[in-house]
Structure 1
Amino acid sequence: MGIFSSIMNKIFHKKPAEAPAAPAAAPAAAAPTPAAAPAAPPEPVDVEAVLTQIATLKGGGGNWRTSIVDLLKLLDLDSSLDARKELAGELGVNAGPHGSAEQNIALSKAVWAALAQNGGVVPASLRD
């Protein structure tokens, strides 16, 4: 699993509610069974609200809105240079040398944009 997939899992992961077991029914006489309705698409996730809640539970979170390192740490993910290089490769970020402020800022913006493209509600202030 890639770094970005890990970020998405930490933010978007919701444990599905377990459906109660259906009682066993007596076999019906060759009656066709109706097709199940397709599942409703998942509700958009308010990314900033989820991350704010995580930061509150952890008693902080640093500057996760603008720092890719702080965002990764907030999500208990590897924030090392190698991990950020991998993330840059996944998201096609080629700004500045690896580990530079220029690349870290571009990487942070790319993460917000990718989260928005994948169903997250991300304020424009984080994407720009």
Structure 2
Amino acid sequence: MSIFGSIMSKIFSHPAAAPAPSAPSASSDSAPAAAPVPSAVAPAAVPDGVPAAPTTASPVAATAPAPPVDVAAVLTGMASKNPEALHWQTSIVDLLKLLDLDSSLKSRTDLAHELSYAGDTSDSASMNIWLHKAVMTKLGENGGRVPDDLKA
């Protein structure tokens, strides 16, 4: 698994990554609404001779995107249970430590290559700043809700 894949897995599969209280009620509302709509549409579509419309609508409703994971809330919760004072909001090293992942220079260099870092990997300070923002941005692109101040 890629390093970024490991980061995503640790955050998105964490028990605190469960949808926010408002999201389940929206999902609950959507699920019952989705079931009656195809049933209501199916009888109307059958006489029209277009049974494919309800069949197509049903899978689309079933594959609605999952609510975004609140990345900051998950990480804040993890940090509150960690005995070490980790500054995951600004430090890629601390973020990796919080997720119990390898935070070595080699691992961070590999992550930089994975995320297409174009800078000099021997300038670890610049690379680390870029990595933190790139990871947060990619988490946002992959289903995470990340505060704007943590993204690039």
User: Is the pair's TM-score, using the shorter chain for normalization, greater than 0.5?
Assistant: yes
Superposed CA deviations along residues 86-119 of structure 1, whole A, max 9, x for unmatched, are 1111111122333521110001100000000001
Give unmatched runs, 5+ long, in structure 2: 19-54
Amino acid in the other structure paired with 2:120: G
1:112 matched to 2:136: yes
Separation in 2, partners of 1:96, 1:64? 23
Amino acid in the other structure paired with 1:42: A
1:80 matched to 2:82: no
Separation in 2, partners of 1:98, 1:48? 29
1:52 matched to 2:52: no
Equivalent position of 2:8 in the other structure = 8
Amino acid in the other structure paired with 1:2: S
Question: Match for 2:148 among 115, 121, 124?
Answer: 124
The percentage of counterpart residues that share the same residue type is: 52
Decide whether the 8 Å contact of 1:61 with 1:74 is kept in 2: no
Moved more, 56-65 or 107-116: 56-65
Separation in 1, partners of 2:111, 2:64? 31
Separation in 1, partners of 2:134, 2:122? 15
Separation in 2, partners of 1:99, 1:75? 24
Secondary structure, aligned partner of 1:85: helix
Aligned length: 111
> Which structure: larger Rg?
2
Name the CA shift for 1:14/1:71 in 2 (closer, same or farther; >3 Å): closer
Decide whether the 8 Å contact of 1:112 with 1:126 is kept in 2: yes
Structure with greater helix percent: 2
Decide whether the 8 Å contact of 2:112 with 2:131 is kept in 1: yes
Separation in 2, partners of 1:97, 1:123? 27
Equivalent position of 1:27 in the other structure = none
RMSD, matched Cα: 2.2
* Cα displacement (A) at 1:81: 1.0
Decide whether the 8 Å contact of 2:139 with 2:146 is kept in 1: yes
